[in-house]
Structure 1
Amino acid sequence: MAPIQPPLYPLSILSSHLVGLSFGSSYVVSLYLVKNARLRFSSEKTDARHSNVLPGSRDDPAVIRARLTAATFATLLNCGIVYVLIARSTAPSFDSFASTLAILGVRWPDRILSCLQTPLLFLGPLYGSYLAGTLPGQSNYSFNRDFLGLFSNWQGFRNYVWGPLTEEIVFRACVLSVYAMGGASRWRMIAFAPLIFGLAHVHHAWDTYNRLGRTQDALKRAALSTIFQTLYTTLFGAHTSYLFLRTSSLIPPLTAHVFCNIMGIPQLQSETRRFPEKKTTIIAVYVIGIALFAYTLVPWTESPTSLYWRAPEAFWRAVVGTS
């Protein structure tokens, strides 16, 4: 009688869904478990000479510090769970810690072009900034205001440093790793993982509803903004998931996340109104940027050493060191 072979994958697809959802949920729930991280809503106004942020609001430095601390602990917890899953599934002679680092994308990408691919999508907005003279080196650009001012406060640190880093670790590295442990194909991972990322932003509706006065109109506006944000973040999550799977590195999705947070939502209508004489050129540059983004999506992200961009069997055999 032939010996029973152990399963190739340590998780089922259902387990991958549940663990992935628990990762996303733990990240969001951590923001509300800590007392100082919870938002407080009040009609009280602060002295504009000292602060334009209400105490207890989302942009209150004390709230930001508490939330970043909570998110950090949630991120470390989720990475620890990935390590435990790896350690329980690999042979005793295999380096579980090194496998965890590899599976979480802690490495430089094979090609630096993979970090430059996302900005092509923002070629139109960058051209709008050029027309406004706000790009580095132009007349309306200030290093102190537009760079140091962006990163030297708690809001900037949250939006452009620690927030993107912890989110990419949890919603890309951790979530995609458990889908890989369940044997999900790369296209299923690109489809499922971003949904967790998008749903993780639904809680912002509560903040919006309260800030706008808890009226019926506030409820409608909160619902609409949340639907848009969920769709936008889901699409963005699909792109960064693709970058992570293609490169097996956190660096490309992280740089894309930071860049997109800095650029914000493209404002085509606003730019054409501001520069009506350049309307046709602005639209053309937007279209060219989208075309270049699509054209370079595969060649610029090519990574021969990617653990993920293979058949699922080859991926898991590489991680556990089996033949």
Structure 2
Amino acid sequence: MPVVFPGPTISLNTAHAFAAFFTLSYVGSLYISRNARLSFKKEVKVDLRDGESREKKRDERWRDDPDVIRARLVAASLSTVVSCLTVLVLMRSLVPGYLPFVVVLESTLARLGFTLEFNDQQRFSIVWPCLVAPILYLGPLFGCYLASSLPFQQRWSWRGSAAPIVMTWMGLRNYIMGPITEEIVFRACILSVYHMAGVSHAKMIFLTPFTFGAAHIHHAWETYNRYGRNMSALQHALIGTLFQLTYTSLFGFHCAFLFLRSGSILPSLTSHVFCNIMGLPRFREDVLRYPQWHYIIRTMYWMGIAGYIYTMIHWTQAPDSLYWPVPGLKLGRY
């Protein structure tokens, strides 16, 4: 049982300060090391066709270069550890001094969504929230089925489908380490401090994800350089950044809700990995590719949306969530 408090333990301004520290330290860590920083030729300014990336110069460093990815994974991992230790230190300062350190550690892990022991009921309550995102993607999954690209279908293979996810530096960043570090920092750490400040569920769900979206704005600089350093490149960078800010914020609403309702980092983490692998739904492409399945594809997409609404309400509540306790269950609040 984690240590709980009868009321807010830190001020809202303090929570804002911690959230800013977590965000800035995560993004800033990507630029501290010379190996992690990007570099572009200043004189490179070319006219390209719309949507076309220029050729990489010899001495430049782009974000998809293997050595850049390695350095950034190390930096992001270290920053994530620092953020978790910061929450631990904060908890140590709030918990009565007579309690042993192991109690503080267990309480911190619980607030970060790391449950060390599961009984049968807890396993059940954690597994169901992990299935919410796949339900939403019923339409795209059906499209993958028609394309025979689901695991163990005809066009799926370990070398062509799975290996790029788990055995390449880009795959490790996009589908494993990126989701893990981002969910720990932008969900677990940030939501834990706002919860200590007594912030409402609605504000934690709909406001804190903007920090997650803002953390991706720095990608605009690389986009501007890759697409020619001209007005077209600037427009491309601005539109791409606005789209990414919108998408990551909306996705953050989803993950924040899952984290608070389940009290575990696992549902939001698995959703992050799954959605990164699937990408954005491609309804129009699926319909154009398989016109004979038009009505079934449309039905599957609508079923996914309806199923998502239902499962977000009925499949996400854990009976022992620290952040969203079942009404009438005395678990404490903060």
Q: What's the TM-score, normalizing by structure 1?
A: 0.89
Contact 1:10 1:89 in 2 (8 A): yes
Question: One-letter code of the match for 2:161?
Answer: D
1:90-129, aligned counterparts within 5 Å? 90-94=95-99, 95-107=103-115, 110=123, 111=125, 112-129=127-144
Q: Deviations over 1:220-250 (max 9, x none)?
A: 1111111111010001011001010011111
Name the counterpart of 2:80: 75
Contact 2:69 2:169 in 1 (8 A): yes
1:269 CA displacement: 1.4
Over 3 Å off, 4+ runs: 42-47, 314-319
Q: Deviations over 1:140-182 (max 9, x none)?
A: 1112210123210111111111110000100000000010111
1:49-88, aligned counterparts within 5 Å? 56-88=61-93
Name the counterpart of 2:322: 307
Name the counterpart of 2:15: 16
Change (3 A) 1:257 1:181: same
2-side partners of 1:222 and 1:181: how far apart?
37
| 3-state SS in 2 of match to 1:141 | coil
Question: One-letter code of the match for 1:26?
Answer: S
Name the counterpart of 1:31: 30
Contact 2:26 2:80 in 1 (8 A): yes
Percentage identity across paired residues of the two chains: 45
1-side partners of 2:17 and 2:218: how far apart?
19
Name the counterpart of 1:41: 40
| 3-state SS in 2 of match to 1:165 | helix
Question: One-letter code of the match for 1:100?
Answer: T
2-side partners of 1:222 and 1:149: how far apart?
27
1:160-309, aligned counterparts within 5 Å? 160-309=175-324
Contact 2:320 2:331 in 1 (8 A): no
Change (3 A) 1:104 1:54: farther
Contact 2:188 2:265 in 1 (8 A): yes
Q: Deviations over 1:190-240 (max 9, x none)?
A: 122101111111111111111101110111111111111101000101100
C-alpha RMSD over aligned residues: 2.4
Question: One-letter code of the match for 1:9?
Answer: P
Gapped regions of structure 1 (runs ≥ 5): 1-5, 48-52
Contact 2:39 2:61 in 1 (8 A): yes
Question: One-letter code of the match for 1:268?
Answer: F
Change (3 A) 1:128 1:54: farther
2-side partners of 1:164 and 1:150: how far apart?
13
Contact 1:248 1:306 in 2 (8 A): yes
Question: One-letter code of the match for 1:248?
Answer: G
Name the counterpart of 1:3: none
Change (3 A) 1:143 1:84: same
Gapped regions of structure 2 (runs ≥ 5): 45-53
Q: Deviations over 1:245-277 (max 9, x none)?
A: 011111100000000000011111111121122
Aligned length: 308
Matched, 1:138 2:146: no
Name the counterpart of 2:51: none
1:318 CA displacement: 6.1
